Amino acid sequence: MIASQHLPFQWPPPVSSKPCLTGYSTSEKHCPAVWVYCRTLAALLNGSSAAPPDLATLLIVFDHESPTVLTPLSSGLLYCRFYSPVRVNATIMKDTQLQSLEKELQGSDEDLTIFGDSELAESFDEDILATMGYKQELERRYSSLQIFSIAFSIMGLLPSIAATLPLSLPAGPVGMVWGWFIACGFIFVVGLAISDLASSLPTSGGLYWWTHYFAPEKFRRPLSFLVGYSNAIGLIGGTCSVDYGFALMLLSIPSIVSDGKWTASAPVVYGVFTGCVIAHAVVATFASKYMNKIQMAVIVGNVTMAIATIVALPIGKSRSAKGLNSASYVFTHQENHTAWPAGWAFMLAWLSPIWTIGGIDSCVHMSEEAKNASKAVPRGILGSISGCWFLGFITVCVIALSMDPNVEALIRSPLGQPMAQIYYDALGKSGAVGFMVFMACLQYCMGLSLLVAASRQSWAFSRDGGLPFSSFFRVLGTRIHYRSQPIRTVWGCAFSAMILGLICLVNTTAAKALFSLGPSGNAVAWAIPIFSRIVWGKHKFKPGSFYTGELYSRPIAIVALLYLIFEISLCMFPLRGPSPPPKLMNYTVAVNGTVWGSCLLYYFLSARKWFTGPKTTWNKEAQHPQE
């Protein structure tokens, strides 16, 4: 049955100058969505002379208790969304309820067309963003595959495994192989929980926005403030660790050429690190419109590098005097080169996959540049985790098969990089140089992608007034090379990374804190919105295009939350053993503790007076001045 009824809401819609409507069902939220577009009704509501002057609202009541409440839409068309018990697209026209509705509308001379949800979702990106209080400012140019490529290029797989090998080697092959597989399983659960949120509320602010939305009035502002800063330090810390790893990889090449006779000093490492950060900022500024294409090239490079290593290492090592290790060595041999018990040394080996797959929220921060964001972002998150999980597992198995069984010698390699030593032993000097050059290039691209994601999160946070000098950092560029790009936050994040990277001048152990700084900061930023949703916001949560289901969503979120609490604790432990001297201390607890403590102190002393959480911008044309 079809009925018209007046509903109270603002008209004309504030999002657009054209009167138009969209509908969102309030029931059967777990069913596939179907969009119905009625051109005749759209024409009436958009000012046709046939429309009565007061016909500004409409309620379509679909047979059994599926009322669809209409709200403003900016596309200039009328779309009615309701839910069907059948699958969208392939079986859509077999739904007798839909056929009945179509016949009734057509019988009343209405021109009706029915589409599957995926066919129209892209046109609703701006409208979904508008329902969250924001007008579209960034250009949407990233497809689902390109969003996936950002996360996958940040993870970097083989370069990340190489950079974090010193974290997993102390537990021997068992720590490398099974530590990778088990930790990735838990990270995938975290990815599912974040994907539920990212599909429901796709915004670049993501984590702190969700926290503010789900948390109660008493806690929402301080918690979202803490999440915003923790996420920022996590992404900037991740940029530091990636670029520090790049510096070590690049400088291992002259060490290989000199057969280990030359090693880089700490100031030289920091100099290369600084040059890398500046180069990232320059590329992110002047090549921003090509970033989506760069990400696609990086996917090809990462997969090619992993396959080449999987093939070349066993062939090269089998021809050497020592030959390959046995399968029992790869899957059952455990060592402990720390002062911790063997079980805890195995847990510390999890830091390698934790760091490698620590950039899953980068997809979230690209939400306002993604086409069909409510689907593209979850696909990017889960696709990148899955790819790293299984391809990474094969890679670490091959590394364990091909490496020198003298683990302590690998850890203390004169080349300064255990992976460089493994290549050197299996492929000789020229082969090792070739692989390390290619790997350094991929590591550079990882840092570039991470800086882009960090700049988007910082821009979104400054848009809501969360950062110092927010009015400066929220400005977007207008020049042709970087139009509608947050250039100021790109350089702000780069400068912050260079300051934070000074820790590598202390010693190599202190520098390793960079590899747990990012994951611990991000883990706090991931855990708080998940907690807020399952404890305070279960009645406010409305699923998006991706949803793990009413039965599984909450248990998944609980498991993810428990794991993240464990991960935060793990990142704080000294790597070599208890009661370390200052030079062997894990500085993560000091740096992150300072950031979290300073953030809360800053909030209660000052920011609570002016920080109100996410700010609406759709009705403020001059909210964000441009250069």
C-alpha separations of 17 from 126, 133, 251 in Å:
14, 17, 58
Residues 6 or more apart from 86 whose CB is under 8 A from it?
32, 92, 94, 95
Specify which residues 37 forms β-bridges with. 79, 113
Contact 70, 7 (CB under 8 A): yes
Q: Domain range spanning residue 486?
A: 143-609
How many other CB atoms are there within 10 angstroms of residue 500's CB atom?
Answer: 19
According to the model, what pLDDT value does residue 20 have? 29
- How far apart (Å, rounded) are the C-alpha atoms in residues 306 and 189? 24
For 21, which DSSP code?
Answer: E
Same domain, 467 and 554: yes
Instruction: Using DSSP, state whether 358 is helix, strand or coil.
Output: coil
Looking at the structure of the chain, the number of domains it has is 2
Query: Minimal CA–CA distance to 198: which of 210, 190, 187, 214?
Result: 210
Same domain, 117 and 147: no
* 615 part of a folded domain: no
* 627 part of a folded domain: no
CATH number at residue 457: 1.20.1740.10
Contact 26, 69 (CB under 8 A): yes
Rg (CA), the chain: 26
Kind of pairing between the strands at 33-38 and 59-62: unpaired
Same domain, 177 and 100: no
According to the model, what pLDDT value does residue 127 have? 63
According to the model, what pLDDT value does residue 12 have? 31
Same domain, 72 and 199: no
Contact 224, 215 (CB under 8 A): yes
Contact 407, 172 (CB under 8 A): yes
Same domain, 427 and 455: yes
- How far apart (Å, rounded) are the C-alpha atoms in residues 383 and 381? 6
Contact 400, 173 (CB under 8 A): yes
Same domain, 220 and 311: yes
Query: Minimal CA–CA distance to 179: which of 202, 155, 161?
Result: 161
Same domain, 97 and 147: no
According to the model, what pLDDT value does residue 627 have? 33
* 56 part of a folded domain: yes
- How far apart (Å, rounded) are the C-alpha atoms in residues 210 and 526? 10
pLDDT tens-digit readout, 468-520: 888 888 887 666 555 667 888 999 999 999 998 887 787 666 676 666 677 88
Residues 6 or more apart from 106 whose CB is under 8 A from it?
112
* 15 part of a folded domain: no
Same domain, 376 and 457: yes
Contact 208, 228 (CB under 8 A): yes
Same domain, 47 and 166: no
* Under-70 pLDDT residues of the chain: 1-128, 130-131, 133-134, 137, 477-484, 507-510, 512-516, 616-627
Same domain, 91 and 168: no
- How far apart (Å, rounded) are the C-alpha atoms in residues 82 and 577? 58
Please state the φ and ψ torsions of residue 458, each to the nearest 5 degrees: -65, -35
Q: What is the pTM of this model?
A: 0.75
Contact 85, 96 (CB under 8 A): no
* 314 part of a folded domain: yes
Which domain-ending residue is among 76, 99, 125? 125
Sign, CA dihedral 543-546-548-551, equals positive
* 515 part of a folded domain: yes
Instruction: Using DSSP, state whether 412 is helix, strand or coil.
Output: coil
For 49, which DSSP code?
Answer: T
* 136 part of a folded domain: no
Residues 6 or more apart from 581 whose CB is under 8 A from it?
none
Please state the φ and ψ torsions of residue 109, each to the nearest 5 degrees: 65, 25
- How far apart (Å, rounded) are the C-alpha atoms in residues 425 and 409? 12
Contact 463, 312 (CB under 8 A): no
Instruction: Using DSSP, state whether 73 is helix, strand or coil.
Output: coil
- How far apart (Å, rounded) are the C-alpha atoms in residues 43 and 525? 46
- How far apart (Å, rounded) are the C-alpha atoms in residues 267 and 262? 15
Contact 521, 237 (CB under 8 A): yes
According to the model, what pLDDT value does residue 560 have? 97
Angle (nearest 5°) at CA 512 between 382 and 383: 10
Same domain, 153 and 112: no
Residues 6 or more apart from 315 whose CB is under 8 A from it?
none
Query: Minimal CA–CA distance to 525: which of 184, 155, 194?
Result: 194
How many other CB atoms are there within 10 angstroms of residue 535's CB atom?
Answer: 13
* 155 part of a folded domain: yes
70: left (phi over 0), alpha (psi -120 to 50) or beta: beta
Same domain, 84 and 182: no
- How far apart (Å, rounded) are the C-alpha atoms in residues 603 and 271? 35
According to the model, what pLDDT value does residue 454 have? 86
According to the model, what pLDDT value does residue 163 have? 83
